Protein backbone atom coordinates (compact mmCIF):
# COMPACT_ATOMS: atom_id res chain seq x y z
CA UNK A 1 0.00 0.00 0.00
CA UNK A 2 2.80 2.42 0.95
CA UNK A 3 6.30 2.26 -0.44
CA UNK A 4 9.08 4.59 0.69
CA UNK A 5 12.30 4.93 -1.34
CA UNK A 6 15.52 6.79 -0.51
CA UNK A 7 13.78 9.13 1.91
CA UNK A 8 15.63 11.87 3.74
CA UNK A 9 14.16 14.56 5.98
CA UNK A 10 16.49 17.12 7.59
CA UNK A 11 18.77 15.34 10.07
CA UNK A 12 15.84 13.41 11.50
CA UNK A 13 14.89 10.60 9.16
CA UNK A 14 16.69 8.41 6.63
CA UNK A 15 14.90 5.45 5.04
CA UNK A 16 16.44 3.48 2.16
CA UNK A 17 13.39 1.35 1.44
CA UNK A 18 10.19 0.52 3.30
CA UNK A 19 6.96 -1.30 2.39
CA UNK A 20 3.79 -1.10 4.47
CA UNK A 21 1.21 -3.73 3.58
CA UNK A 22 -2.46 -3.22 2.87
CA UNK A 23 -5.09 -4.67 5.26
CA UNK A 24 -2.61 -5.07 8.08
CA UNK A 25 -1.66 -3.56 11.43
CA UNK A 26 1.76 -1.92 11.46
CA UNK A 27 3.27 -0.39 14.59
CA UNK A 28 6.08 2.17 14.51
CA UNK A 29 8.28 2.17 17.60
CA UNK A 30 11.47 3.93 18.61
CA UNK A 31 12.89 6.42 21.06
CA UNK A 32 11.68 10.00 21.30
CA UNK A 33 13.02 12.19 18.50
CA UNK A 34 13.74 9.31 16.12
CA UNK A 35 11.23 10.50 13.52
CA UNK A 36 8.17 8.30 14.14
CA UNK A 37 5.64 11.14 13.96
CA UNK A 38 7.54 12.69 11.05
CA UNK A 39 7.08 9.47 9.05
CA UNK A 40 3.38 9.35 9.90
CA UNK A 41 2.90 12.95 8.72
CA UNK A 42 4.66 12.12 5.46
CA UNK A 43 2.27 9.23 4.83
CA UNK A 44 -0.54 11.80 5.19
CA UNK A 45 1.30 14.30 2.95
CA UNK A 46 1.34 16.90 5.73
CA UNK A 47 5.08 17.32 5.24
CA UNK A 48 7.29 16.25 2.34
CA UNK A 49 10.73 14.65 2.40
CA UNK A 50 13.78 16.63 1.31
CA UNK A 51 14.73 13.68 -0.88
CA UNK A 52 13.11 10.44 -1.97
CA UNK A 53 9.65 9.23 -2.91
CA UNK A 54 6.57 7.97 -1.12
CA UNK A 55 4.01 5.91 -3.04
CA UNK A 56 0.41 5.18 -2.04
CA UNK A 57 -1.21 2.38 -4.03
CA UNK A 58 1.70 2.59 -6.51
CA UNK A 59 1.08 6.28 -7.22
CA UNK A 60 3.46 8.97 -6.01
CA UNK A 61 1.81 10.61 -3.03
CA UNK A 62 2.26 14.16 -4.31
CA UNK A 63 0.15 13.30 -7.35
CA UNK A 64 -2.95 13.00 -5.17
CA UNK A 65 -5.11 15.97 -4.29
CA UNK A 66 -4.14 16.46 -0.59
CA UNK A 67 -7.76 16.76 0.59
CA UNK A 68 -8.85 13.66 -1.34
CA UNK A 69 -5.86 11.76 0.05
CA UNK A 70 -6.73 12.76 3.62
CA UNK A 71 -10.27 11.50 3.19
CA UNK A 72 -8.82 8.08 2.36
CA UNK A 73 -5.84 8.22 4.74
CA UNK A 74 -6.95 9.78 8.03
CA UNK A 75 -4.45 10.76 10.72
CA UNK A 76 -5.17 11.23 14.41
CA UNK A 77 -2.45 13.34 16.08
CA UNK A 78 -1.26 12.67 19.61
CA UNK A 79 -2.87 15.85 20.95
CA UNK A 80 -6.62 15.62 20.37
CA UNK A 81 -8.25 18.51 18.49
CA UNK A 82 -11.53 19.44 20.14
CA UNK A 83 -13.86 22.07 18.68
CA UNK A 84 -16.52 24.15 20.38
CA UNK A 85 -19.81 22.30 20.63
CA UNK A 86 -21.12 19.01 21.91
CA UNK A 87 -19.49 15.60 21.88
CA UNK A 88 -21.71 14.65 18.94
CA UNK A 89 -20.75 17.83 17.04
CA UNK A 90 -17.09 16.94 17.48
CA UNK A 91 -17.57 13.40 16.26
CA UNK A 92 -19.58 14.47 13.20
CA UNK A 93 -16.95 16.97 12.07
CA UNK A 94 -15.12 13.99 10.60
CA UNK A 95 -18.20 12.98 8.60
CA UNK A 96 -18.51 16.50 7.19
CA UNK A 97 -14.86 16.46 6.12
CA UNK A 98 -15.37 13.12 4.38
CA UNK A 99 -18.44 14.58 2.60
CA UNK A 100 -20.82 12.11 4.17
CA UNK A 101 -23.81 13.33 6.15
CA UNK A 102 -25.10 9.82 6.84
CA UNK A 103 -24.39 8.40 10.28
CA UNK A 104 -25.78 5.88 12.70
CA UNK A 105 -26.37 7.36 16.14
CA UNK A 106 -26.51 3.87 17.64
CA UNK A 107 -23.06 3.11 16.26
CA UNK A 108 -21.69 6.28 17.87
CA UNK A 109 -23.34 5.48 21.21
CA UNK A 110 -21.95 1.94 21.01
CA UNK A 111 -18.43 3.27 20.44
CA UNK A 112 -18.72 5.63 23.40
CA UNK A 113 -19.75 2.67 25.54
CA UNK A 114 -16.99 0.41 24.23
CA UNK A 115 -14.39 3.12 24.87
CA UNK A 116 -15.72 3.78 28.39
CA UNK A 117 -16.75 7.37 27.68
CA UNK A 118 -19.78 7.52 29.92
CA UNK A 119 -21.12 10.84 28.71
CA UNK A 120 -24.22 12.16 26.99
CA UNK A 121 -23.61 13.07 23.35
CA UNK A 122 -25.10 16.53 23.97
CA UNK A 123 -22.58 17.45 26.67
CA UNK A 124 -19.92 20.07 25.80
CA UNK A 125 -16.82 18.33 24.48
CA UNK A 126 -14.53 20.87 26.16
CA UNK A 127 -15.54 19.45 29.56
CA UNK A 128 -14.05 16.04 28.78
CA UNK A 129 -10.83 14.84 30.38
CA UNK A 130 -7.70 14.46 28.24
CA UNK A 131 -8.21 10.73 27.87
CA UNK A 132 -11.89 11.15 26.99
CA UNK A 133 -11.02 13.75 24.34
CA UNK A 134 -8.52 11.32 22.86
CA UNK A 135 -11.16 8.60 22.63
CA UNK A 136 -13.81 10.94 21.16
CA UNK A 137 -11.32 11.97 18.45
CA UNK A 138 -10.64 8.30 17.75
CA UNK A 139 -14.38 7.68 17.31
CA UNK A 140 -14.42 10.65 14.91
CA UNK A 141 -11.79 8.87 12.79
CA UNK A 142 -13.51 5.46 12.87
CA UNK A 143 -16.90 6.70 11.66
CA UNK A 144 -15.20 8.45 8.72
CA UNK A 145 -14.59 4.91 7.40
CA UNK A 146 -11.20 5.63 5.78
CA UNK A 147 -9.05 3.10 3.93
CA UNK A 148 -6.06 3.85 6.14
CA UNK A 149 -5.96 4.96 9.78
CA UNK A 150 -2.80 6.69 11.02
CA UNK A 151 -2.60 6.94 14.81
CA UNK A 152 0.09 8.86 16.70
CA UNK A 153 0.26 7.57 20.29
CA UNK A 154 -3.56 7.25 20.40
CA UNK A 155 -3.63 6.06 24.02
CA UNK A 156 -0.93 8.23 25.61
CA UNK A 157 -3.45 9.78 28.03
CA UNK A 158 -5.00 6.45 29.05
CA UNK A 159 -4.31 4.02 31.85
CA UNK A 160 -3.03 0.57 30.94
CA UNK A 161 -6.38 -1.23 31.12
CA UNK A 162 -8.22 1.37 29.03
CA UNK A 163 -5.34 1.46 26.54
CA UNK A 164 -5.63 -2.28 26.01
CA UNK A 165 -9.41 -2.10 25.65
CA UNK A 166 -9.26 0.70 23.05
CA UNK A 167 -6.43 -0.77 20.96
CA UNK A 168 -8.04 -4.21 21.00
CA UNK A 169 -11.29 -2.76 19.62
CA UNK A 170 -9.53 -0.68 16.94
CA UNK A 171 -7.50 -3.68 15.76
CA UNK A 172 -10.62 -5.85 15.62
CA UNK A 173 -12.41 -3.12 13.65
CA UNK A 174 -9.51 -2.84 11.18
CA UNK A 175 -9.31 -6.58 10.57
CA UNK A 176 -13.08 -7.04 10.32
CA UNK A 177 -13.46 -4.21 7.78
CA UNK A 178 -10.28 -4.84 5.75
CA UNK A 179 -8.69 -1.54 6.72
CA UNK A 180 -5.04 -0.64 7.17
CA UNK A 181 -3.78 0.63 10.52
CA UNK A 182 -0.41 2.33 11.00
CA UNK A 183 0.20 3.31 14.60
CA UNK A 184 3.02 5.04 16.44
CA UNK A 185 3.25 3.67 19.97
CA UNK A 186 5.63 4.09 22.89
CA UNK A 187 4.71 0.60 24.05
CA UNK A 188 6.65 -2.31 22.60
CA UNK A 189 4.23 -4.58 24.47
CA UNK A 190 1.26 -3.14 22.55
CA UNK A 191 3.23 -3.44 19.30
CA UNK A 192 4.10 -7.09 19.93
CA UNK A 193 0.58 -7.99 21.01
CA UNK A 194 -1.40 -6.37 18.20
CA UNK A 195 0.73 -5.68 15.14
CA UNK A 196 1.30 -7.79 12.07
CA UNK A 197 4.49 -5.83 11.38
CA UNK A 198 6.74 -3.67 13.55
CA UNK A 199 8.90 -0.84 12.20
CA UNK A 200 11.59 0.23 14.65
CA UNK A 201 13.16 3.61 13.96
CA UNK A 202 16.49 4.39 15.60
CA UNK A 203 17.69 7.89 16.35
CA UNK A 204 20.73 8.99 14.39
CA UNK A 205 23.72 9.79 16.61
How many other CB atoms are there within 10 angstroms of residue 151's CB atom?
23
CATH of 2-200, one of 3.30.450.20, 3.40.50.300, 3.40.50.1100, 3.40.50.150: 3.40.50.300
Give the CA dihedral 155, 159, 163, 166, nearest 10 degrees: -90
Give the single-character DSSP code of 177: T
Question: CA-to-CA distance for 108 and 88, rounded, in angstroms?
Answer: 8
Grouping H, G, I as helix, E, B as strand and the rest as coil, residue 90 is: helix
pLDDT of residue 137: 97
| 108 contacts 136 by C-beta, under 8 angstroms | no
Taking only the tens of pLDDT, the chain with its 205 residues reads 999 999 999 999 999 999 999 999 999 999 999 999 999 999 999 999 999 999 999 999 999 999 999 999 999 999 989 999 999 999 999 999 998 888 999 999 999 999 999 999 999 999 999 999 999 999 999 999 999 999 999 999 999 899 999 999 999 999 999 999 999 998 889 999 999 999 999 987 6
| 167 contacts 155 by C-beta, under 8 angstroms | yes
- List the domain boundaries for the chain: 2-200
**In sequence order, what are the beta bridge partners of 148?**
73, 180
pTM of the predicted model, to two decimals? 0.96
| 26 contacts 196 by C-beta, under 8 angstroms | yes
Amino acid sequence: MFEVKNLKYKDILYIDHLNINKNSVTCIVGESGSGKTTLLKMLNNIISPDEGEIYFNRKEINQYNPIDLRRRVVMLPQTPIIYKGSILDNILIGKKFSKSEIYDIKEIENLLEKFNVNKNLNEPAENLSGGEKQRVCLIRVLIMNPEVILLDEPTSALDENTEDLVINYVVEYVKKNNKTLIMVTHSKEIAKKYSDHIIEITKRR
